[in-house]
Structures are given as structure tokens and as C-alpha cells.
Chains A and B, each alone.
Chain A
Amino acid sequence: MSNYIKGKERTADEDAEIVSLCKKGDVDAFEVLVRKHQKRLLNIAYRMVSNYEEACEVVQDAFFSAYRDIKNFEGRAKFSTWLYTIVVNLSRNRLKQLNIRSQREGPSFDDSVSAGDSEITLEPVSNEPSVLERLERRDVQLRVQECINSLDSESKEVVILRDIQGFSYDEISDILKIAEGTVKSRLFRAREELKNRLKKMVGEL
């Protein structure tokens, strides 16, 4: 809940000043924006394409595109919102490419494993001492990610943006360029679908 509230509180674009420097060709100023937003962009991309390396590529492309087109950024939405739109679009495209590739090459046995390995590697050190608990937790996360992956693209995007990243309906509406009501209806449908798939996968929630 706190995420939702925090998202709604953001009104003024805190990046406006840096963005204006970037428009004047200040490359170092853009690095500030990269450092500030790269993690969130990476997590959006990672949840969408479900592959850490691919997500890193997507983030690089997103920042590259943003810098290239920053002079066209008019400031109607926040710079971060603009960035998220870019990364969602690029992730969507990359996912399509990956799906096409996997269809051509046949089902890969390593796909789900690689995603899990990346997550393990990058998982912060847990406070829980129990290895068993950590394995169980990892297993649950893998399954949740698999369920998210199985959702259709529209449902996946709203779940990631709302339930994982905590964006407000208003922000999601700006990022996806759809009406707020559409965001809500897509989200409620996506959650119900996710619950059913997860319950089917793990049995008892």
C-alpha cells in the first residue's frame, strides 16, 4: 500500500533540471539519471523478459534510446515515466523476439533454470538462516515468476507495474498509454488469473 501512496505523491518531475542539462549535451548529467533509474528499469525488464542478461540489454537500449531522443522529451509526463514507457516497450519487443526464437529452436531446458540462477545470484543475503527456508522461498519465487510469465502480455504488464513495482494507476495509465479504468479492469482480471495458476501449480497457497 505504501508504494501506491508514494507513487501518487510524486507530482513534480525531480529530474527536470538534470534533463535540461542533458538536452544541452551534458553527458555526465545523463549518468546521474542512469544511476538513479537503472535498477527500477532493470527490474521491470527482468520481470517482463524473465532473463537477467536480456534485461540488462534492454536497459542499455532503453537508456541509449532515451539519450538519443531526450531533445524530443517535452516534459508532459515525468522523465521517469517516459523512461518506463521506453523500457516496457523494449521489453515487450524483446520478449516477442525471444518467443519467436524459442519457437524456432524448440523448448529450451535451460530457460527457466537460467532465470532462477540469476535470481539466486543476485538475491540479497536473507536474514533467514535456514537453508531450507531459503530454498523454499526461492522455489516459490520461481513458481510465481513462471505464473507471471504465463500471463498474456497485457496482464503481465499491469501486474508487474502495479503489484511488483507499485506504480499508481495514474502512472500506469501514463506508462502504458491506456485509460485508468482499463488499467484497473486488466489488473483485476490478471490477479484472478495469477491466483488460479499459482494455486494450480503449488496446490495450497
Chain B
Amino acid sequence: MECGEIREKFSAYIEGIISLEEQSVIDEHLKSCRECSESLADLRKTLEHVKNLEDVDPPQWLTQKIMTRIKAKERAKKGILGRLFYPLHVKLPMEVAATLVIAVTAFYISKSMQPGIDLETYKLAKAPSERTEPQVPTSPTSRKGGEGGFGVETRGKEAVVGKDEDMSRKQSPEIGGSTSIKEREESASQELRQGYGRREFSFEKEKASAIAEGKGVPAKPMEQEVISGRPSAIKKFAEAPKVPAPAEKRDVMKASGDVLGNKSKTEILAHDGVAGEDMGKKDIESITLGLVAKDYETAEKNITDSIRLLGGKIIKFEISDGNRIVFAELNHGKLGELIGKLRLIGEVKKDGLSLEGMEGDVVVRIEIVGVK
């Protein structure tokens, strides 16, 4: 072997991981080669120096620092989990779920209640002191949840679309040259004619078709008020005009506004050229009486008591031209008694009213006129 080959094996030779044969060859070479012997000695010394390198000791704080860091991480991990899930391990998910359920439930409740908060309900819930404020009754379309209809009606007495107003005027030919309020009353009267004596669905159908045709919802007479606690009479009036019975619907009732205007007369309410299926079958007669009284409130109360005593029902109260008007439903046989009782309250003006030929229930419009 040459020196180069021999020196390559020095590392293994020193460690004793060399075959005996190679070891003997190296030993023989070293005896004769001084350079290789010195190289081997240098390598041994180098390795000795390396092995003699002193170990360093870890600082005292090292373990503590390592563990503090690890424990801090553990705490942070557990802290997050603990905050999220302690003590039931599902606290946050439960809270989130509960919040969502409450929110969704509240949303649906409010949404489902919204159609119920129509203007009629609102009016029924009003205090009597608010009765003098102008009110716009709702229409059947609003009860169907139609936004357009509701929106038109809630705009108040001036919220009527011009086209509707025009239509109302056209449909009230008998009242010409009246004030705008009168026009509106006539408009309502027209509507009443359309609404009386028909089933509600047909009325609603008509309204819906009117809307579809772009006519919108006609304005209702201003300063109407539905007395609270009287919804049953209203429905009865709407659904079964000929057979007095409690009812629930209030929609049609509002259409019974100014039935006959200021004239004292008996008038047959009938369909106004619309779907004459119930023509002459469910018509209700209506009469108007005038009552001169000093005190509106007292007179109104006395009228109410009288109507009730006679088995009739108050439909609504109205204020028109400063006079209060009481609408009631009463059997025609009781009209005489009613007039008698009204005379106890004040002077009754019936302007040649004839009670003959009447059948069943009639709508009585009692207009209270103040003493001038």
C-alpha cells in the first residue's frame, strides 16, 4: 500500500473498526514510514483535543423556561377550549344555537303578526278620546296582505290615488257639486252599495280585480270610526244581512259609511252593476233619522242604550260636518219604539219617513244635530 491509501484508513484504524489483515499491513507500513507515523500521531492528538472539549452545563433556568413555555401554551389551548365549552363542553354552541332560535322565532312571530296589525285592529284598540281624529278604514285588500292596498289606505284621508277619487265621483252621480268631503262620503256610499248584500269573498274579488285593473283602492269616508268591541255586529252585517247573527269579519262594515246622505229616506241597497248574483236577495233597508240634542255625548250614549234595549246593535259612529252619526242595526218592528225613545232625548227629524213595507233588520242612521 502507498502512504495515501494507508492514511485513508487511519480513522478506522484508530477506532479499531478495521480488519486484522489491514491492521497488520498498516502496522508494517508505519514501522517503515515516518511521515505516516507522524500523520497518525497528529490525527490521534486532534481527536484527543476534540474529545477533551468540555461540556457546557445548561443554565438553571433552562428547564423552568422550557416548561413555562410549554405550560403556557397548554393553558392557552385549554383556556380557549374552556372558555368555549366549559362547563358543559357545549356552552358556546348551545348559546349560539339558542340565540339563533330566539332570533328566528322572534322574526317569524313579528312577521306573522304583522298582517294582524291592520288598521282596523289599530282602531279598535284606540281609546275613545281619539275617536274624533280622522280615520281611514281598511279595505279587504289590506287583509289579504296586499301591500299596495294597505299602503294606499294608511296614507290617511288625502292618500287616495287621483284615479280612484275620480272613479268615486263618477260612481256618485246623485251628489253633484258637493264639497270634497261629501264626494268622499258618496264614494263610500258607492262602495257600500257594492259591498252590501254580498258575500265577502265576492267583495274581495271585486276589489282585487279593481286593483288589477289599476283602479287602486277607493278612498274611504274620512272621520270614520269603528267602535271597539263591536266586531261581531260588523261581520254579521257583511256576511248575513238578512239573518242577524254574530259575525267576525269587519271588512265590509266599514263600507257602510254614509248610506243615504243627508236626505231622510228609505233606500234599498243593492249591487251597483256588479255581479248581480245576490241582487234583491240580501238587500238591507236603511233609514236616516235626525236628532236634535244639546249634548252630543249624552245623546250618543242614550241612543246606544236605546238601541241595545231594543235588541239592536251599534254598527259604528261617525262624525260628519260636525254632527255625530250613529249607525245601528235594528229590527224594523222596533223602529217605532226607537223613535219614541229618541224623542225623549231630543227632537226627532224623520222627514216623512215611512216604516211600511220594511222587513227584517234595517240599518238606522241617526244623525245627532246640535242645538243652534
Partner of B11, one of A27, A34, A191: A191
B227: Cβ under 8 A from any A Cβ: no
A-chain residues with CB within 8 Å of residue B372 when the two chains form the complex = none
Q: CB distance B46 to A118 under 8 Å?
A: no
| Pairwise interchain contact B12-A184, C-beta atoms closer than 8 A | yes
Q: Are B15 and A4 in contact (CB under 8 A)?
A: yes
Q: Is the CB of A60 within 8 A of B57?
A: no
Name A136-151 residues within 8 Å CB distance of B: 140-141, 144-145, 148
B54 near A141 with CB under 8 A, answer: yes
In the complex, identify which listed stretch (B58-66, B254-262, B347-355) lies at the interface while the others stay far away. B58-66
- Is B20 part of the contact surface with A, judged by Cβ < 8 Å? no
**Cβ contact within 8 Å between B67 and A188:** no
CB nearest to B49 among chain A residues: A144
Assembly CA distance A194 to B58 (angstroms): 27
Does A96 lie at the interface of the complex (its beta carbon under 8 Å from any beta carbon of B)?
no
**CA–CA, A63 to B67, complex, Å?**
9
Instruction: Check if A119 sits within 8 Å of B49, measured CB to CB.
Output: no
Q: Which of B68-76, B110-118, B237-245, B280-288 contacts A (4 or more CB under 8 A)?
A: B68-76
A77-100 vs B, CB cutoff 8 Å, 1 = contact: the mask equals 000000000000000000000000
Select B47's contact among A64, A191, A199, beta carbons within 8 Å.
Answer: A191
Query: Does A42 interact with chain B (Cβ within 8 Å)?
Result: yes
Expressed in whole angstroms, the minimum distance between the Cβ of A12 and any Cβ of chain B is 24
Q: Which residues of A contact B10 (CB under 8 A)?
A: 188
Inter-chain CA distance A184–B8, complex, in Å, is: 11
Q: How far is the CB of A66 from chain B (nearest CB, A)?
A: 10
Q: A188-B8, A194-B50 are in contact. Are A34 and B66 (CB under 8 A)?
A: yes
**Cβ of B88 < 8 Å from any Cβ of A?**
no
Neighbouring B residues of A144 by C-beta, 8 Å = 49-50, 53
Q: Give bound CA distance, A39 to B59, whole Å.
A: 9
The CA-CA distance from A25 to B42 in the complex, in Å, is 51
What chain A residues lie within 8 Å of B59 (beta carbons)?
56
Residues in B with CB closer than 8 Å to A56 are 58-59, 62
A141 and B56 contact, CB distance less than 8 A: no
Report yes or no: B8 in contact with A163, Cβ–Cβ below 8 A: no
Name the CB-closest residue of B to A190. Answer: B11
Q: Are A64 and B69 in contact (CB under 8 A)?
A: yes
Any B CB within 8 A of the CB of A104:
no
Across-interface contacts of B144 in A (CB, < 8 A): none
Q: A42-B58, A60-B69 are in contact. Are A140 and B63 (CB under 8 A)?
A: no
Q: How far is the CA of A115 from the CA of B214 in the complex (A)?
A: 95
Q: Is B129 an interface residue (CB 8 A)?
A: no
Whether B70 pairs with A38 at a CB distance below 8 angstroms is no
Among residues of A, the one whose C-beta sits closest to the C-beta of B41 is A205
Let me know if B12 and A188 touch, CB within 8 A. Answer: yes
- Docked Cα-Cα span, A12 to B240, in Å, equals 100
Are A31 and B50 closer than 8 Å at their CB atoms? no
Q: Which residue of A lies closest to B69 (CB)?
A: A64
Residue with the greatest number of chain A CB neighbours at <10 A, chosen from B47, B52, B53, B71 = B53
Separation in Å of the A124 CB from the closest CB of chain B?
A: 7
B1-38: contact bitstring with A at CB < 8 Å (1 yes, 0 no)? 00000011011100110000000000000000000000
Q: Which residues of chain B come closer than 8 Å to A4, judged between CB atoms?
A: 15
Please give, as numbers and ranges, the residues of chain B lying within 8 Å of A172 by CB-CB distance: none
Listed A/B pairs (26) with beta-carbon separation below 8 Å: A1-B15, A27-B67, A31-B67, A34-B67, A35-B63, A38-B58, A39-B55, A42-B62, A46-B56, A52-B56, A55-B56, A59-B62, A64-B73, A68-B73, A119-B54, A123-B54, A141-B49, A141-B53, A164-B51, A184-B12, A188-B10, A188-B12, A194-B46, A198-B46, A199-B42, A205-B49
B residues near A (Cβ < 8 Å) are: 7-8, 10-12, 15-16, 39, 41-43, 45-47, 49-59, 62-63, 65-67, 69-71, 73-74
Contact residues of A with B, CB < 8 Å? 1, 4, 25, 27, 30-31, 34-35, 38-39, 42-43, 46-47, 52, 55-56, 59-60, 63-64, 67-68, 118-119, 122-124, 140-141, 144-145, 148, 159, 163-164, 184, 187-188, 191-192, 194-195, 198-199, 205
Q: Given A31-B67, A42-B58, 17 more contacts at CB 8 Å?
A: A34-B67, A38-B58, A38-B62, A38-B63, A43-B56, A56-B59, A60-B66, A118-B56, A144-B50, A144-B53, A163-B50, A191-B43, A191-B47, A192-B43, A195-B46, A199-B46, A205-B46
